[in-house]
Amino acid sequence: MEYQYFNDNEKRFINALYIPYKQGFNPMGVYTQGYLESGAFSSALAKENNFWGIKKPKNWKGGVYRKQTIEMIDGKSITIEADFIAFASEYQAMTFYCNLIKKLYPCAYEKRNEPVLFFRGLISGGNKWSTSPTYDKDLEKLYNRLMTKTALVEEIERKCEG
């Protein structure tokens, strides 16, 4: 059974998944986080190749996309405006993402081939990927649901290993 892409953003994302795969990341873990953060690859940020909602770091010299986002602060949802990276390509995005995980999320990087532990690592330690208190559990539930989509899993494996 051939996998039918949800949209062009998802197709581009899957085509570039070999980059984290070659660095030891479980591609379904990376896919799951991208799927969640990009609203099934349909958000405005996904069109900018920013599939994970990565905010612009101080030293970023490339493109920027400004948008509203919701942060959880002291248990309350607060809407803020923030600058996000607008990557030139999905390949640049994947490379930046892998380097970011390695540099700022050592607990996640250490478990990069074990999705559930990888998700926990994204919110442990000094840096937290999300302000949501249920972020790792949300990723885990989504991962379990996505793993039942055999055609998707096979397509990702084929793109990464082929």
End-to-end CA distance of the chain: 17
Going by C-alpha positions, the residue among 105, 126, 111 that lies closest to residue 52 is: 105
In angstroms, rounded to a whole number, what is the distance separating the alpha carbons of residues 90 and 96?
Answer: 10
| Per-residue pLDDT tens digits for 19-45 | 999 999 999 999 999 999 999 999 999
Which residue reads 């084929």 in tokens? 158
Cβ-proximal residues to 48 (8 Å cutoff; 6+ apart), any chain: 63, 65, 84, 85, 86, 87
| Per-residue pLDDT tens digits for 100-119 | 999 999 999 999 999 999 99
* Arithmetic mean of pLDDT, 117-126: 94
Query: Strands (DSSP E) along the chain, which ranges?
Result: 63-73, 76-86
pLDDT band at 126 (very low <50, low <70, confident <90, very high): confident
Map out the domains of the chain with their CATH numbers: 8-43+92-161 (1.10.530.10)
Q: Which residue has the higher pLDDT, 162 or 53?
A: 53
* Arithmetic mean of pLDDT, 123-130: 89
Quote the mean pLDDT of the chain.
94
Radius of gyration of the chain (CA): 15
Going by C-alpha positions, the residue among 131, 60, 116, 58 that lies closest to residue 92 is: 60
Which residue reads 């349909």 in tokens? 42
* Arithmetic mean of pLDDT, 112-138: 94
CB-based burial label for 162 (10 Å; 0-12, 13-18, 19+):
exposed
